[in-house]
Chain A
Amino acid sequence: MTKVLMSGNNIIGEAAIRAGCRFYAGYPITPQNELTEYMAEHMRTVEGGVFIQSESEIAAIHMIVGASSAGARVMTSSSSPGISLKQEGISSMAANELPGVIVNIMRGSPGLGNIRPSQGDYFQATRGGGHGDYRTIVFAPATCQELADLTMNAFDLADIYRTPVMILADGMMGQMMEPVVFKKPKPRQYSEKFMLRGAGQGKSKFIRSLILDAIDMEEHNWKLARKYQIITEKETLHEEYKTEDAELVIVAYGTAARIAKGAIKRLRENGMKVGLFRPITLWPFPELKLRTLSKKVKNYLVFELSTGQMLDDVRLALQGYADIGFHGRPGGVVPTPAELANVAARHYEKAD
């Protein structure tokens, strides 16, 4: 197993191709251009690889809808404003039960915002984002190794549940380099019966999300809901770090969780018992695991690079069970571990 030093954006591209992604469409936007460029450079070197620089984010997502229906492993990527444009297609993928991976390398928002790392798209990612009653599996990697592993897993889950899966990272994750080892991808398991490849001599098929009969549409919604329930039961991931003896637990994901770990190291050097609860899937959110932790720990600090979005999910899990504080730095600001340690220390003392 050789280690390679690569940037997050390139790691996602490499992991996707290794996982068998053979169709990528995208539109340039900072801070994820390296991923689009990586796919342009490498798709042409693999058999059957297709890269399209589309005319828009909208076209890109609908191109992968088409290719997914044709049976290809597909991916598109963008950053916050571009992901807003893709929502129509993500809703369509969820409704049509088409697998695919969507990467969001978040930047400062709303509006055009800036190109600095941010976590302002949590609501959009975890609540479906587009119109209608659906959810998207959302992975929030915090290390380059996780970017590699979770990108591969994302393709597998997309196929198993026939649903779009999102990798939610930020500008820092996209640009950062760490040594990674690419694991061996699993062989693809996706039945041809879900693909449109021409009817041959047989019966023709169609894939559509227009269901005019309300009762039928209701059943389609419930069918999706049952699927989301199974995903919630089986696919929730989180990490607990130094929570065994913790008096205070920071809840953070992605880049914020890395900063939190740095802060925790400082706090522990000063004798404060602080731990970390890190959701790895943002949807499904590890609600029950967090509530279980509240039997031991009663003091929590949610830390996000936003004004407080995951905070809602933490409240749903912990309200009435524990104290919940919040520290947020939206807009592209990345605070240092020292800053967060100071905030956490005040919160730590308050609880005594």
Chain B
Amino acid sequence: MMTKTIFSGFGGQGVLMMGYSLAHGAMNKGYHVTYLPSYGVEVRGGTANCTVAVADEEITSPVSSEPDNLVVMNSPSLTTFQNKVTHGGIIFLNSSIIDARPSRQDIKVYAVPCGDMAQEVGNIRVANIIMMGAFIKKTGVVPADIYLKSLETIMGSRKKSAAEVNRKAFAAGYDFAKD
């Protein structure tokens, strides 16, 4: 098994956090994992992205030629990365702010209105966690309970109420993707 995912969006949308939490969960599941973020001037007010590779064997290249999954939180990211996705791959897009849809017919597309859903949950900043709920449900890269445990570990010292909001947000995304 080898799954490569690119997460991309505006700086501030918690895109690197999405990748990092997935990588952490994969490590706790006992998988091999690499997390490769964009850095420096690229993330100063611009777009941020990261590549996460998860495998049950040695990961050769942390750089992805053709990611299996693409998670895009804004429109420019969709333009940049949609044609890299492998044949039969999946694109998750934040349909709250992305109007466009990929023209490719050989991939699956899940439109998750995670921005609107975050407002319903009561905190716009958890849109990324909602998206992770949908992502975990559809891809099963790591089991939901292990992912949530990692999320809690990462959030660690922060307030209990924040952990509760994250849990709620994850569940919202997870349930949304059931349909």
With contacts A5-B27, A338-B66, A339-B65 taken as known, whether A172 is within 8 angstroms of B36 at the C-beta atoms is yes
Which residues 1-55 of B have a CB within 8 angstroms of A? 20, 23-24, 27, 32-37, 39-41
Q: Are A262 and B65 in contact (CB under 8 A)?
A: yes
Residue A115 lies at the interface, judged by CB distance under 8 Å to chain B? yes
User: Could you tell me the distance between the alpha carbons of A178 and B64 in the complex, rounded to whole angstroms?
Assistant: 15
Q: Which residues of B contact A30 (CB under 8 A)?
A: 39-40
Hey, which chain B residues are within 8 Å of A261, CB to CB? 60-61
Q: Which residues of B contact A336 (CB under 8 A)?
A: 61, 63-65
Residues of A in contact (CB 8 Å), total: 27
Task: Judge whether B88 is part of the interface by a CB distance below 8 angstroms.
Answer: no
A176 within 8 A of B: yes
- Work out how many contacts link A and B, with CB atoms closer than 8 A: 71
Say whether, besides A115-B41, A171-B39, A177 and B23 are in contact (CB < 8 Å). yes
Considering only CB atoms and an 8 Å cut-off, how many residues of chain B contact the other chain?
21
Main SS at interface, chain B: mixed
Contact pattern, A 110-146, Cβ under 8 Å of B = 1, otherwise 0:
0000010000000000000000000000000000000
Report the separation of the CA atoms of residues A74 and B39 in the bound assembly, to the nearest whole angstrom: 28
Contact across chains for B24 and A5 when beta carbons are under 8 A apart: yes
B122 at the interface (CB under 8 A from A): no
CB <8 Å contact, A3 and B65: no
Question: Is residue A259 within 8 Å, beta carbon to beta carbon, of the partner chain?
Answer: yes
Q: Which of B34, B36, B39, B64 has the most CB of A within 10 A?
A: B39
> Given A115-B41, A171-B39, A258-B60, are A179 and B65 neighbors across the interface (CB < 8 Å)?
no
A340 to B40, CA, bound (A): 26
Asked if residues A176 and B61 are in contact (CB atoms below 8 Å), the reply is no
Decide if A176 touches B65 in the complex (CB within 8 Å).
no
In the assembled complex, A53 has its CB within 8 A of some CB on chain B: no
B interface residues, Cβ below 8 angstroms from A: 20, 23-24, 27, 32-37, 39-41, 59-66
User: Beyond A171-B40, A176-B34: 15 further Cβ-contacts under 8 Å?
Assistant: A30-B39, A31-B40, A171-B39, A176-B35, A176-B37, A177-B34, A179-B32, A258-B60, A258-B63, A259-B63, A262-B61, A265-B60, A336-B61, A337-B65, A338-B65
Q: Which residues of A contact B (CB under 8 A)?
A: 3, 5, 30-31, 115, 171-172, 175-179, 258-259, 261-266, 334-339, 341
